[in-house]
Structure 1
Amino acid sequence: MNQTTKYCKESRVVKTSHVLPPDTNVHNTLFGGKLMAYVDDCASLSATRHARCPVVTASTDSVDFLSPIGMEDSVCLESFVTWTGRTSMEVFVKVIAENLMTGERRIAATSFLTFVALDEHKKPVQVPQVIPQTEEETKLNETAATRAAWRKQRREESRSLAEFLTTNKPW
């Protein structure tokens, strides 16, 4: 292996937090926005670890909330780079809720984000290719091209919509 390739595991980040009352909504579950901030933070650490330079979030495909996370739970995020383009990286984030009293763990959310690596002039810079090793990493790597095509189409649709939208004051 040379410096133009890295294993997925080299970008892996694991971050665990308590769910505290200020982090919850009226349902006593973790605010979706708080979880989204955790997701972006964790993913940006993985992207930076992979590229070893500054990165910016280019897109968030989605944050799929699968199970509420309550105050009896801890929230654990695992992220790693699953696929790379020339200057961009796809990062997968798996959110695991663990009931701290019973030890029961469940997938609470998943997310894919795209980051672009930047040089000192804030221009895109080439990133190392990624090599999957585990079954999970391989599956995510093999399905990444389809997600990249969806992203490209969605970005084109967003640009088209932005051309239609106005910046006029609504009042």
Structure 2
Amino acid sequence: MPTLTINGAPRTIRSTPDTPLLYVLRDELGLNAAKYGCGLGQCGACTVMVDGQAVFSCITPVELVADRTVTTLEGLGTREHPGVLQQAFIDEQAAQCGYCIPGMMMRAQALLERDSDVSDAAIRAELEPHLCRCGTHMRILRAIRRAADAMGRDRPAKTSEGRS
């Protein structure tokens, strides 16, 4: 039985190697933040991070993540102690129906882990693959900027050469 590293912990799974990661997360491990949307990697509802990169878990066979680190929304924080991005979404009331929000948050987290000094244009470009009809887009942008600001304060300042 293969072992995956999910949210920092090793997890043994029973699924076959060609099973989509989304099914393993939801059906086998009970991690339900990533949602089944289109099943074709076109809506973003299933987005998780693999080695810090946003991926569509509905089209990613579990065998491709066997030696990699998978992070789901549950891995960013808890209800009692939300992560920086989760708290920003709460503070900005950025979720309406909430179906697409976990995927958007994971893509935003991947972006902010690469660089917390991002422009609105960069945030919009990063979220382009996500389909959302909620109408909270401006709150989502504010939440991501809020998290970027908070994350930026926690990092060492860059020198003029771009190094910390």
TM-score by length of structure 1 reads 0.27
Report the structure, 1 or 2, having the larger strand content: 1
**Structure with greater proportional helix content:** 2
